[in-house]
């Protein structure tokens, strides 16, 4: 997303909004260093102090990380995700438990609100996911798996639920990337049944499908498999 020159009122809030949107849209990936203050100030048409204050606010919210003498890096794709990273760290079980609640409701809404184009998109993402795993491109597999689950929630057209869920995906994606190298596990949870239920507009079946695969992942946590 190209940055635009801001208006003169509420400059800090405007810069915060533009930087947040740039991160959300992937202009700078998680772990990537953002441009230095002078460059951002020039692109936004504001002073360096305004940029510094905006960056400080986003760092406090967990979106950015300021490394003295090195620069500012993207820490998460949203403040929600940054907060979750601080709260749960690497506690995958807690993330999966919350994720189960959100995905079950997301699947229910998706089954009643989805469009035909969105169902086609779900099929495309599953095809990409399976192909990546078959070719042992595990990072691509984990990324596409996360994209698929986010796309299911987006099919429900509930903005708040989508943003809450989006905050979980980075933590889970990292775990899927690690575990998929060692065992077939998640790749064999094909999600075709979930897509079929959403396509058939069957909310009860969609909830069962969404909850079932997460129950399986949680059971593996209990067994110490992950």
pLDDT tens, residue by residue, 30-75: 889 999 999 999 999 999 999 999 999 999 888 899 998 899 999 8
Q: Which two tokens stand for residue 180?
A: 């998929």
Question: What pLDDT score does 122 carry?
Answer: 97
pLDDT recorded at residue 14 = 93
- The three-state secondary structure class of 96 is helix
Between 31 and 201, where is the model more confident?
201
Residue 138 and residue 43 in one domain: no
Q: Are residues 15 and 68 in the same domain?
A: yes
Alpha carbons 126 and 145: distance in angstroms, whole number: 8
> What is the rounded CA–CA span in Å between residue 150 and residue 148?
5
Residues 92 and 141 in one domain: yes
Q: What percent of the chain has pLDDT over 90?
A: 53
Same domain (yes/no): 108, 57: no
Structural domains counted in the chain? 2
The verdict on 70 and 88 lying in the same domain is no
Per the prediction, the chain carries an average pLDDT of 85
pLDDT at 103: 93
Query: Which pLDDT band, with edges at 50, 70 and 90, does 9 fall under?
Result: very low
Are residues 189 and 85 part of one domain? yes
Can you read off the two tokens belonging to residue 122? 């779900």
**Which region, left, alpha or beta, applies to residue 71 given φ > 0 means left and ψ of -120 to 50 means alpha?**
left
Quick: pLDDT tens for 147-171: 999 999 999 999 999 988 888 877 7
Closest CA to 150 of 175, 172, 183: 172
Nearest in space to 24 (alpha carbons), one of 82, 73, 69, 78: 78
Mean pLDDT score, 78-97: 71
């Amino acid at each position: 997303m190209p940055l635009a020159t801001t208006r003169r009122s509420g400059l800090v809030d405007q810069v915060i909004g533009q930087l947040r949107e740039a991160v959300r849209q992937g202009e700078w990936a998680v772990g990537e260093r953002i441009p230095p203050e002078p460059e951002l100030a020039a692109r936004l048409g504001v002073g360096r102090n305004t940029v510094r204050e905006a960056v400080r606010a986003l760092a406090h919210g967990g979106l950015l990380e300021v490394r003295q003498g090195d620069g500012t890096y993207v820490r998460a794709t949203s403040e929600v995700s940054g907060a979750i990273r601080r709260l749960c760290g690497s506690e995958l079980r807690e993330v999966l438990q919350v994720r189960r609640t959100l995905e079950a409701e997301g699947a229910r809404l998706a089954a009643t609100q989805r469009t035909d184009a969105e169902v086609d998109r779900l099929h495309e993402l599953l095809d990409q996911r399976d192909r990546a795993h078959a070719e042992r491109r595990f990072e691509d597999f984990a990324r596409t798996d996360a994209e698929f689950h986010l796309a299911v929630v987006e099919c429900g057209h509930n903005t708040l639920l989508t943003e809450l869920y989006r905050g979980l995906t980075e933590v889970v994606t990292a775990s899927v990337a690690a575990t998929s190298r060692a065992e077939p596990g998640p790749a064999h949870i094909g999600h075709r049944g979930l897509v079929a239920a959403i396509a058939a507009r069957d909310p009860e079946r969609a909830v069962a499908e969404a909850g079932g695969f997460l129950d399986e992942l949680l059971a593996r946590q209990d067994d110490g498999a992950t």
